Structure 1
Amino acid sequence: MTSPLSLILFDLDDVLCRYDRSARIAHIAARVGRDAQAVRQAIWDSGLEGRADAGQVSDAGYISELGALLAYPLTVDDWLDARRAGMTPDAEVIAIAKAVARRHRVAVLTNNCCLLADHIHYLCPPVAEVFGAQVYASASFGAAKPSPDLYRRCVQHLKVAPGETLFIDDVEANVAGAVEAGLRGYRFTGTEALASELAAHGLL
């Protein structure tokens, strides 16, 4: 018999928020006086973002290393402003999450450094309003999606059994990683389909 759900765990980017990487890149490029390719290379092609997501570099180390790669004295505020520029809250999905949160426990698990979780009230106020402090960056668990270790550590921290957790993400590999860890998974493809899925679980 399937266990009842105790936790609904949402991804952030391209689920609760629309994420525009190009807008983030453009913001940093304008700030540091480099072109978009240089910014893309410094953040992603260098592997820095992946290491930060997996908790292999501290927030301070991440900002310092990124500044060095861009030859600019980058600050946390610079990073936050750029990250915010690339995030647009999805009001419909957030409204669904808010409805679920009235009767069920909800949280967010996102591939990010801890700066994002620590500053979610600035970066995306509507998400902060619904989830409060229950926004978790992968870096805090020392692993990144789609590693099953990330999901196991997250639900252990939240004191919820994997099989009582429904994880929602727009990336199939991330959903597969959650399922491998024992969670129930759902790939987000749109608002209406999500509402139907949650209703089918008795969550709406």
Structure 2
Amino acid sequence: MGSPLFLFDFDQTLSAFDFRKRLPALAAATGMSQYHLASRWWAGGHERAAEAGEYATTEAYLAAFREVTGAPLTREQWLRARLAAMTPVPVALDALRLAASLGTASLLSNNPIVFHDCFAELAPEAASILGGDGLVSAQLGARKPGALIFARVLARFGVDAADAMLIDDAPANVAGARDAGLAAFEFRLHGPDANSHDLAGAIRDFAAQVGSRHGIPG
């Protein structure tokens, strides 16, 4: 005990994400219209269910996608469409590297199991820092900002809430983490209230606080 746990969101934190690019790529791959895919899968709540762990394997996720939309989708097509919508965020990756040097760093992202299985291909730099693994909500059977996901991730790492920090762009997720007793940093990359330059300092400060609380010299 005494080592901080840093939990990083993925979309809009470690990587910029534009669904307006992902949906056309999926439409092109499947031959279905964007409207059809969005209305059947996303508006129908199936992606949210997948993020909550309804589909235990990539194969189950892809089979469900086909059943719901009528569109066969391979792992490779899913991967290419996801990559088309993503751009790494260097300042956040630097912060992830810093966090890993000061304690334990992990992904904590609302995503389906197929994302976990493709993580090393989707985000090779982040995967390298994290040792190749990326923890997603589907593995925990709960989504942010609910209290259950934070309870389960803390139990998984054997860490007290006071020794854990979430870095996330979504205000609701930040509030959920704080309600669960974690520290949290609301990451804002753009706009007049951008604070990406403050993230490294916040990580160092939190690591020092945890160390001090456990009697570990800085």
The 5 A counterparts of 1:5-154 are 6-59=4-57, 60-154=59-153
Counterpart CA distance in 1 for 2:126 and 2:175 is 25
**Structure 1 180/5 Cα, relative in aligned 2: closer, same or farther at 3 Å?**
farther
Counterpart CA distance in 2 for 1:185 and 1:5 is 16
Could you tell me whether the CA contact under 8 Å between 2:55 and 2:113 is conserved in 1? no
The size of the alignment, in residue pairs, is 201
Could you tell me whether the CA contact under 8 Å between 2:65 and 2:73 is conserved in 1? yes
Q: Which moved more, 1:187-196 or 1:108-117?
A: 187-196
Shift of 1:121: 0.8
Counterpart CA distance in 2 for 1:180 and 1:4 is 21
Shift of 1:80: 1.8
Pick one of 195, 199, 203 that aligns with 1:194: 199
The Cα RMSD (Å) is: 1.8
The TM-score, its normalising length taken from structure 2, stands at 0.85
Counterpart CA distance in 1 for 2:6 and 2:72 is 40
Query: Alpha-carbon deviations, 1:81-121, whole Å to 9, x = none?
Result: 21222221111210121123223211110001122122211
Look up the equivalent residue of 1:30 and give its one-letter code: A
**Structure 1 202/57 Cα, relative in aligned 2: closer, same or farther at 3 Å?**
closer
Identity %: 30
Could you tell me whether the CA contact under 8 Å between 1:107 and 1:131 is conserved in 2? yes
Could you tell me whether the CA contact under 8 Å between 1:162 and 1:182 is conserved in 2? yes
Could you tell me whether the CA contact under 8 Å between 1:48 and 1:62 is conserved in 2? no
Shift of 1:130: 1.1
Could you tell me whether the CA contact under 8 Å between 2:162 and 2:181 is conserved in 1? yes
Counterpart CA distance in 2 for 1:102 and 1:195 is 12
What SS does the aligned partner of 2:135 have?
A: strand
Counterpart CA distance in 1 for 2:163 and 2:31 is 48
Look up the equivalent residue of 2:105 and give its one-letter code: V
Shift of 1:69: 2.8
The TM-score, its normalising length taken from structure 1, stands at 0.90
